[in-house]
Amino acid sequence: MPRYTPTVNGQARAVDAPADMPLLYVLRDLLGVTGPKYGCGVGVCGACTSHLGDDAVRPCIVPMDSVGARPVTTIEGLADGDVLHPVQEAWLAEDVAQCGFCQPGQIMTAVHLLAANPDPSDADIDAAMSENVCRCGTYVRIRAAIRRAADLGSA
């Protein structure tokens, strides 16, 4: 079983895992990083969305041997210590979450969207965020939070 030394949320970690093990189970079951959630296991719900380098990815369908040297950032790695990322702050200001289970993935998708497009239109938000399911139906507040974060970023 190969040994990998991924950088997860800024820390070098070491783990023995099969090459085809999806990153999600490495994170959750072997490294105890439980912010990314299992919602479908096949890349269609977005609950595990995390960042691999500059990309937003679905760890449930990213095999461990494809991670390489790119740093892994999960929801736990988004804040700078106690200082939340502006998108997290916007999520709090709009009280977006209900059950909260999908929100780590929603936030990581939104952060990626805003990094590429600091002032997204409604259509841009539709396109980027429709890959993430929220069963509580928080979409209207997710949109408001993205707009709020965009306004903060341009202020």
Partner 1 sequence: MVHRSEGSVRPDEPPEGGGAPISRRRFLQFTLAGTGTLVVGGAVVGGGDAGDPAGALDLGEIIDFGNAITLAESLYADNLLLEVTADNRIRFELPRLDKGQGIATAIAMLVADELDADYERTDVELSDRRPDRPFSITGSSAAVRALWAPVRGVAAQARARLVTAAALRWRVSASSLTTSQSRVTAPDGRSATYGELSAEAARVTIPLIPTTPRPVDRYRIVGTAKSRKNARAIVTGAQEYTLDLGVPGAMPTVIARSPDVGGTVASWSAGPAASMPGVVGITQVPSGIAVAARTFHEAFAARDALQITWRPGTARGRSDDNMREGLRQIVPPLTPVLPLYRSHEATFEFPFMAHAPMEVMGAVADVRDGAAEIWYASQSPNYLAAEVARALRIPVSNVTMHVPYAGGSFGRRLFGEPAIEAAQISRALGVPVKLMWTRNDDMRHGRFRPITRCAVRASWLGRATTSFEHRIASARTDFSHGLGDALTAAGAQIAPGLISQVGFQTMVSIPYAFGVSNGLLAERDFGVPTGSWRSVFSGTMTAANEIFIDEMARARGQDEVGFRLRHLDSPAATRCLEQVAAAGDWGRSMPAGQAQGVALHVEYRSAVAYLVEIDTNGAEPRLTRAFAAVDVGIPVNTRGLQAQMQGALVDGWSAMFLAGIHIDDGFVREGSFADFHWARMRHAPTTTEVHVFPATPGAEPGGAGELGIPAASAACVNAYARATGERPRRFPIGEVA
- Give contact residues for partner 1 (rule: CB under 8 A): 1, 17-18, 21-22, 25-26, 28-30, 32, 34-42, 44-45, 47, 74-76, 78-79, 84, 88, 91-92, 95-104, 107, 122, 125-127, 129-143
Residue 26 or 72 having the CB closest to partner 1: 26
Categorise residue 32: left if φ over 0, alpha if ψ from -120 to 50, beta otherwise.
left
Q: Output the CA torsion sign for 50, 55, 59, 61.
A: positive
Bridge partners, residue 25, by sequence: none
Residue 115 or 135 having the CB closest to partner 1: 135
Compute the least distance from the CB of residue 75 to partner 1, in Å: 4
Residue 14 or 32 having the CB closest to partner 1: 32
Q: Quickly count helices (H) and strands (E) in the chain.
A: 5, 7
Compute the least distance from the CB of residue 76 to partner 1, in Å: 4
Look-up of token digits 């259509």: 123
Compute the least distance from the CB of residue 69 to partner 1, in Å: 22
Closest CA to 56 of 115, 122, 101, 138: 115
**Calpha distance 127→125 (Å, rounded):** 5
Compute the least distance from the CB of residue 52 to partner 1, in Å: 16
